[in-house]
Chain A
Amino acid sequence: MMNSLMQTFALLEMSITCSLILIWILQKIAQEVFPFIVKVLLLLILANLFFWPLGMSLELPLAAYVRGVTGDLSIVTTLLLWSTLVHSHKSTPIAVKFVILIIALAFYPLALGFSMHDPYAWGYGSITFLLFVLLLALICGLANWSKGVWIVGLAIIAWSVHWHESANLWDYLLDPFLALWAFCSLFAAVLAKRKEKARSGYLFRPG
């Protein structure tokens, strides 16, 4: 029963996430930010399309196919994505993206067998690791990014109530898509900065 409920909620999560990504793509194509009510209506329609089995030759709902490839996304990724529905204009601080990228670069090679040292094992019940995560959230709060505090807090609560299949805190905090997003965002920010610098250089170049 619990397993069945967990799978249903996981599919629902994935349906909402897929719908929000589609809405984001639609906004990019239309080159405008949709009004909140339009986004909610689109979300309702798309999430239903992803969640319910469509029949035809498909054995599963569309969200299950995506989940087969991606697995369950971390709570941090999910909530960051979902928060764009409400606050599309507020971007995540660049320092947060930088920290995510640094942690991912150190974490994944070790977790994937680079040495006998496996930081992924900390996620099952290391108090030191939990303290480290809480410290990062506290820094977010002190840096006036309350959204980060809420997101990390929710991720810890989701882990402690075993919301997803994983019993590892890492899986609630980080996933490869979050790391990829952090990398792309930072790369785009560096490019934008260079472009801006070049433009300002052109404007103030002596004639």
Chain B
Amino acid sequence: MNRVIALCFLLLAAVLGFIHIEGRPAWAPFAIPEVAQIESEEVQSDSKPGAPKLKLVTQSAIAAPRADWVPDTGVASVHAASLIALKDGNVRAFWFAGSREGAADVVINSAVFDTKTNAWSAPEVVMDRVAAEKGLARYIAKLGNPVPARLSDGRLQLFFVTVSIGGWAGSSISTIFSDDEGSTWSRPERLITSPLINLSTLVKSPAVQFSDGRLGLPAYHEWIGRFGEFLRLDAAQVIDKRRMSSGRSAIQPLVFVNAAEDATAYFRQTRSAGQAKQIPVSHTQNAGQSWQSVSDLEVANPNSAVAGLTLQSGAHLLALNNIEAGRHRLVLLMSDPKVGQWQLIDVLEDDEALPNEQRKEYSYPYLMSATGNDAHLAYTWDRKKIRHVYFSSAWLTRAFSQLPQQSSAQSMPDSKEAP
């Protein structure tokens, strides 16, 4: 009799399980941001009737990229800055700061950059260790890697990494929400992404949007394996997950959406000695449901993070350390996806000429556009400060127009300096 009741109960569980699966949202294509169809010839010929309203900007009229510092909170160590555009056109930055990376006093700071006055607000604490552990109802030892996203309902979502035990390899991702553009935040919630005590999932790069309004978050493991994973999220819940790479050689995936079903992911390489120190690449043709490793992007990578951005013109930007060892040189590359060649358009930092002991670290770049045509870059400056650089749309448009065309680019190797 007991067995019959148990089997009836199992039947009930089966029905609930099937209802749950049926109610699960289907995988959706990527949301494609509107791309202004601007040919480089058109950029240079604003007098043509019907041409887009983009003025030909002469070299002298274009302001050089403008750099400043994200406000200092007086702590010894800062790292992992990220940015998001606010509804009023301003830009909010997030970073973590404390006495040293991984210390218990590390907090996640935020400040707003006023794009009209070019001034930063005073930094405020978004999350500290105690608030995180009280909200998550579990012990938290340290915080890191804040990454903001905009939800389809207009709210801000901030992902960040928490560690309860061990080093960064023991990380899990948590998230908070804001209804008021980051002034106040909800209680933190935990993303469950790994079957082994939810250990070792981190986030570094921005999320991409699906056409159903949900987010796809590129994440990575760096414990037993070092590989990328693509999380499909419904707010604070992981509703699906797909592997972007495997093994121990590629972390911190950065996703460029090319079309509704097509995207390319660039990784930070973590290969062992003797292997190519270049950017590993994966590709999907079904909106992230499956990924295939393809040949490397032939740009040097010294095991350091890569940042990227797609502009409305369709141009792709990459900020990275294009050297095989060290992080003392940081550059900005641009590519026209139709041509597929990366061109160096700006050297942001370069200590190549200095002796080793005097070289500084310029790392963890993060790119974001407030208007779709401009670019804000934030990066760690020697682990002591966060540098912010603004590239105007005019400057980027000019750089795009100077990219080699298909016929000439075919013969050019990757990452050549633009004229």
Instruction: Please state if B243 and A60 are interface contacts (CB–CB under 8 Å).
Output: no
Please tell me if the beta carbons of B165 and A68 are within 8 angstroms of each other in the complex. Answer: yes
Question: B13, A157: Cβ atoms under 8 Å?
Answer: yes
CA distance A71 to B162 in the complex (A): 13
Q: A137-B10, A156-B14, A165-B190 are in contact. Are A146 and B3 (CB under 8 A)?
A: yes
Residue B125 is within 8 A (CB to CB) of chain A in the complex: no
A64–B135 Cα distance when bound, in Å, is: 11
Q: Are A7 and B137 in contact (CB under 8 A)?
A: yes
Q: In the assembly, what is the distance between CA of A112 and CA of B166, in Å?
A: 18
Specify the main secondary structure of chain A where it touches its partner.
helix
Contacts of A134 in B (CB 8 A): 10, 13-14, 17
> Do A171 and B195 touch (CB < 8 A)?
yes
**Contact present for B195 and A149 (CB under 8 Å):** no
Which of B105-113, B203-211, B234-242 is the contact stretch?
Answer: B234-242
Contact of B18 among A3, A107, A130, A168 (CB under 8 A): A130
Bound: A15/B245 CA distance, A: 38
Contact B196 A152 (CB under 8 A): no
Assembled-state Cα–Cα distance A150/B4 (Å): 11
For the complex, is B36 an interface residue (Cβ under 8 Å from A)?
Answer: no
The answer, yes or no, to whether B221 is at the interface (CB within 8 Å) is yes
A168 touches B6 (CB 8 A): no
Docked complex Cα distance between A11 and B137 (Å):
7
Q: Within 8 Å of chain A (Cβ to Cβ): is B187?
A: yes
Chain B residue contacts of A124, Cβ below 8 A: 24, 238-241
Name the interface residues of A134-148: CB closer than 8 Å to any CB of B.
134, 137-138, 141, 144, 146
* Chain A CB within 8 A of B20 CB: yes
Q: How many A-B residue pairs have CB under 8 A?
A: 171
Verify A59–B133 contact, CB threshold 8 A: yes
- A10 in contact with B21 given A3-B189, A59-B130, A138-B7 (CB within 8 Å): no
Stretch at the interface among A40-48, A114-122, A182-190, A198-206: A114-122
Contact partners of A64 in chain B: CB under 8 A: 133, 137-139
How many chain B residues touch A (CB < 8 A): the figure is 57
A70 interface hit (Cβ, 8 Å): yes
Of the 9-residue stretches B153-161, B222-230, B307-315, B317-325, which lies at the interface with chain A? B222-230
Residues of B with C-beta under 8 A to A152: 10, 13
Q: How far is the CA of A65 from the CA of B21 in the complex (A)?
A: 33
Chain A neighbourhood of B18, CB < 8 A:
127, 130
B21 adjacent to A130 (CB under 8 Å): yes
Cα–Cα distance between A97 and B231 once the two chains are bound (Å)? 32
- Docked pose: A114 CA to B195 CA in angstroms: 14
CB-CB contacts below 8 Å: A56-70 with B? 59-60, 64-65, 67-70
How far apart sit A116 and B138, CA to CA, in the bound complex (Å)? 32
A108/B16 contact (C-beta < 8 A), A113-B247, A137-B10, A165-B190 known: no
User: In B153-183, which residues have CB < 8 Å from any A CB?
Assistant: 164-165
CA distance A176 to B141 in the complex (A): 22
- Is B136 an interface residue when CB atoms closer than 8 A count as contact? yes
- Does A49 interact with chain B (Cβ within 8 Å)? no
Chain B residue at smallest Cβ distance from A126: B21
Choose from A10, A60, A68, A113 the contact partner of B225 (Cβ within 8 Å). Answer: A113
Which A positions have Cβ atoms within 8 angstroms of B?
3-4, 7-8, 10-11, 59-60, 64-65, 67-71, 107-108, 111-118, 120-121, 124-127, 130, 134, 137-138, 141, 144, 146, 149-150, 152-154, 156-157, 159-162, 164-171, 174-176
19 additional contacts (CB under 8 A) given A65-B139, A125-B240: A60-B133, A67-B137, A68-B140, A68-B164, A70-B197, A111-B194, A112-B223, A113-B225, A113-B227, A116-B291, A120-B241, A124-B240, A134-B10, A149-B7, A154-B13, A156-B13, A159-B20, A166-B238, A167-B237
